[in-house]
């Protein structure tokens, strides 16, 4: 995951692997209805929106909205709110899994 600030607007990008082109992480209004954009570094509505979009992206096999909301809350508390506000960090998806107590993937 690549977190950037472009022209003052925070955006999140996803890169499947190191040599892949980055793609915009799209908002998931079906999971969290907020149109104010993304943010990180605290637990407000922007970070909540980002957390829901990340949950849907990194847990594609979960279709239950309640379970996805639980994953989003965990991502918010353990990852998104912990990122430095205003910074532009890069974090691998494996970091999200690790922080959320998921088993380590074997490739």
* pLDDT tens column, 9-66: 999 999 988 889 999 999 999 999 998 899 999 999 999 999 999 999 999 999 999 9
105: in domain: no
49: in domain: yes
107: in domain: no
Structural domain including 52 reads 2-99
Give me the pLDDT at residue 99, please: 94
Does the pTM surpass 0.75? The reply is yes
Give me the pLDDT at residue 104, please: 66
22: in domain: yes
* Sign of torsion over alpha carbons 29, 33, 37, 41: negative
Closest CA to 7 of 49, 27, 37, 42: 37
Measured torsion, CA atoms of residues 99, 103, 104, 105, in degrees rounded to the nearest 10: -120
83: in domain: yes
Give per-residue burial for 55-77: e unless 16+ CB within 10 Å, then b: bbbbbeeeeeeeebbebbebbbe
Give me the pLDDT at residue 10, please: 94
Number of structural domains, the chain?
1
90: in domain: yes
63: in domain: yes
């Amino acid at each position: 995951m690549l977190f950037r600030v472009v022209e003052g607007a925070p955006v999140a990008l996803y890169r499947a692997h190191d040599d892949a082109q980055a793609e915009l992480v799209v908002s998931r209004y079906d999971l969290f209805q907020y149109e104010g954009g993304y943010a990180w570094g605290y637990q407000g509505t922007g970070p909540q929106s980002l957390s829901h979009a990340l949950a849907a992206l990194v847990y594609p096999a979960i279709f239950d909205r309640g379970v996805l909301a639980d994953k989003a809350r965990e991502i918010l508390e353990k990852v998104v709110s912990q990122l430095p506000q205003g910074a532009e960090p890069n974090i691998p998806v494996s970091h999200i899994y690790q922080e959320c107590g998921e088993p380590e993937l074997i490739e």
